[in-house]
Amino acid sequence: MLAKNLVSYRGGVDKIFNASKQQLMKTPGIGEKTADDILGFKDFKRAEKEIDFIAKNKIRTIFYLDEDYPWRLKNNADSPILLFFKGNANLNAERQVAIVGTRSATDYGKSFCEKLVEDLKKYNVTILSGLAYGIDIYAHRTAVKNDMCTIGVVAHGLDNIYPGQHRSTAAQMTNNGGVLTEYLTNTKADRENFPMRNRIIAGLADVVVVVETPVKGGSMITAEIAYSYNKDIFALPGDITNEKSRGCNFLIKTNKAVLLESADEIALSMGWIDTEKKPVSSQKKLFIDFSDHENTIVNLLAESQLAIDELTLQSRLSASELASALLELELKNVVRSLPGKVYKLN
């Protein structure tokens, strides 16, 4: 945040290093010590070493003011000022789904994760995760196996891969996806880096799917961050006596996540069209029988798409009546929901 303030207040990166101490201290959050540190910076050998590594390993550097900086991150106050990327993926792909979960996944979680990724392929989705043990690596490997784009966000520099057992998968991912970080080389995967990494996963995603997690853990942190970003969150329900399902069940119970059973439920919620199915035409809609409540909604949406609050106000339906009618219309492929709880006719 301080770096962004400096760039903004000084009008460019180069002008930061040409500024006086008094000018630097006019920037919010910059005190005397920070101003002295900026003016006294002399470690150009470290910067040159980083530039050499970037060039030698064909790393993309993406500054937050660059056109190709991920737009999903741009509006987040805590987004990284600089990203390092090894791979060929489009970080602004149309559809991006993060899949996270416990490092000690059960067969139930692994099986669901693999099927979910496979079923998402028809929606041309980029799979995001953290390249960690358990659910993360199952999501990445299934994506690679199915020739899907997949991006791993790591909590260290790109001179290393943690855990080391996942190096071969990371190398495969750079052919159709890649590995992303905000950290310089020689940065170890220290514990405090993982929550920072998780905010990038949450920020990049249109949808965050949590597959098995205890009530406390990295996946819950990702879900909480995603919730604060107003992202759509889905969770796999599980055995209430299983510690690894309690986090997912808690997210569902507290209405922070939607209970998930299939990839099609994500697509339905996000308004993604299955290329293997033809949408219902307007002519066919004329022959669909609507209830009174459904008819009210269809007539309102015929004028323009509406957010849920506006639909509630204009339809004069109760919350339960509106939710029931919207669900029926979505199942009939007449209405679809967009991000932000906005609805429109198909």
Please name each of the domains of the chain with its CATH number: 1-42 (1.10.150.20), 87-270 (3.40.50.450), 282-345 (1.10.10.10)
Tell me the pLDDT tens digit for each residue of 274-311.
Answer: 544 444 444 434 446 788 899 899 989 987 889 888 88
**Predicted local distance difference test score (pLDDT) of residue 276:** 46
**Predicted local distance difference test score (pLDDT) of residue 9:** 79
**Predicted local distance difference test score (pLDDT) of residue 278:** 42
**Predicted local distance difference test score (pLDDT) of residue 36:** 87
DSSP state string for 26-67: TSTT--HHHHHHHHT---HHHHHHHHHHHHHTT-EEEETTST
Helix (H, G, I), strand (E, B) or coil at 252: helix
Q: What is the CA radius of gyration of the chain?
A: 23
Distance CA 68, CA 81 (A): 13
Helix (H, G, I), strand (E, B) or coil at 177: strand
- Contact in structure between 230 and 204 (CB atoms under 8 Å): no
**Predicted local distance difference test score (pLDDT) of residue 312:** 87
- Tokens describing residue 109: 């979680």
Beta strand extents in 161-307 (DSSP E only): 177-181, 207-211, 232-235, 258-259, 306-307
**Predicted local distance difference test score (pLDDT) of residue 159:** 96
* Ranges in the chain, pLDDT < 50: 275-287
**Predicted local distance difference test score (pLDDT) of residue 266:** 93
CA distances in angstroms from 193 to 20, 138, 188, 216, 253, listed in the order given:
33, 22, 9, 17, 29
Count the Cβ atoms, other than its own, within 10 Å of residue 255: 8
